[in-house]
A = this chain, B = another copy of it.
Amino acid sequence: MYIMEQRTEIAELGEFGLIEHLTKNFETHNASTVMGVGDDAAVLDHFGKQTVVTTDLLIEGIHFDLMYTPLKHLGYKAVMVNLSDVYAMNATPTQITMSIAISNRFSLEALDEFYEGVFIACEKHGVDLVGGDTSSSNKGFIISVTAIGEANADKIVKRSTAAKGDLICVTGDLGGAFLGLTLMEREKKIYLENPQLQPDLENEDYIVGRLLKPEARKDMIEFFEKNDILPSAMMDVSDGISSEVLHLCRQSNLGCVIYEEKIPVSEASRKAAYKFGLDPTVCALNGGEDYELIFTLKQEDHDKITLNEEISVIGYMTDITDGCKLLTKGGNRFDITAQGWNAFQK
């Protein structure tokens, strides 16, 4: 939480003044963006390429907590989670629309912070902001983002096309965002009980960064392109890999084996997990919001990824009758169940 030095009421600008104000620094980068903000709809041209579309609705108190989420990070993350879905199709994001609803507790300066994060995310990924909607809410901050991307038809990777024997791979490391959330929730609780105490983030930059500033894996899509790799199936890791791997199995009509010892967990996450009395593997399997990619790969392509330290092979696809299994370090075999984030069971 921080203090705003200046406070301009949103009502002073009116809706259209506000949209102009918020979008004035956004320039378009993509040849496919024929027209952006300022008409009934944006106009895109995707001559000969396929378009992918994905959308997310983020609600204060459900998907984020402004008590420990700086608005700039929130803007950045709101874009990033949608770009992650586009990359998960092996496509390149080209445009987003951003709609927000806010109560009058937010000033123009607060909104500017939010849009600064949106701007940085768009710039970093070469994405054009082409539309949106701003309105008021009775309570809380509501964000809706739609991302559009493009790819050649033969490059798009679905969830449903894995084959038996394919390797299961994940990028980066897992569980960090969940551990960052655990830390922030702990500090929030302490602060609410005793506002005099300063937050103790104990050099936990890594897990806090994983929570507040996730990075969609554009680099991986570029690596695939450069090395002539086409995953057989792919999705992004937003709910935790136990949930995601079950999606891949169900949609591809297969089973799988995952090796616990192969699941990538960073040293920082492992330490944090032990400090909080949590099992690092459980955090990696069931913690959400890592925004890594999970994909399957034909075995003959294994050589193409071995030198990339950002990719871990964690298992392989099996027959549907073999079920979805986790092989633990101790040699036990468990059924994988989705413990991922379920918005309706809070």
Contact = CB atoms under 8 A, between A and B. Distances in A.
Interface in A23-47: 34-35, 38-47
B44 A47 contact: no
A13 B57 CA distance: 20
Contacts of A225: none
Contacts of A205: none
A159 B43 CA distance: 13
A62 B38 CA distance: 23
Interface string A320-346: 000000000000000000000011111
A306 interface: no
Given A53-B146, A99-B55, A236 B344 contact: no
A15 interface: yes
Interface in A142-157: 142, 144, 146-149, 153, 156
A221 to B, nearest CB: 12
Interface stretch (A68-76, A82-90, A115-123, A311-319): A82-90
B99 A159 contact: no
Contacts of A138: 59, 61-62, 139-140
A52 interface: yes
A38 B233 CA distance: 13
Contacts of A147: 41
Contact of A57 (B54, B133, B345): B133
A57 B11 contact: no
How many monomers of this chain does the complex have?
Answer: 2
Nearest to A130: B53
Interface residues of A, number: 75
Contacts of A159: 38-40
B346 A153 contact: no
Contacts of A100: 57
Contacts of A132: 55
Contact of A135 (B48, B62, B156): B62
A220 to B, nearest CB: 14
A55 B53 CA distance: 12
Contacts of A156: 43
A136 interface: yes
A149 B57 contact: no
A134 interface: yes
B15 A342 contact: yes
B251 A62 contact: no
B89 A40 contact: yes
Interface of A: 10-11, 13-16, 18, 34-35, 38-48, 50-57, 59, 61-63, 85-86, 88-89, 91, 95, 97, 99-101, 104, 130-140, 142, 144, 146-149, 153, 156, 158-160, 234-236, 247, 251, 342-346
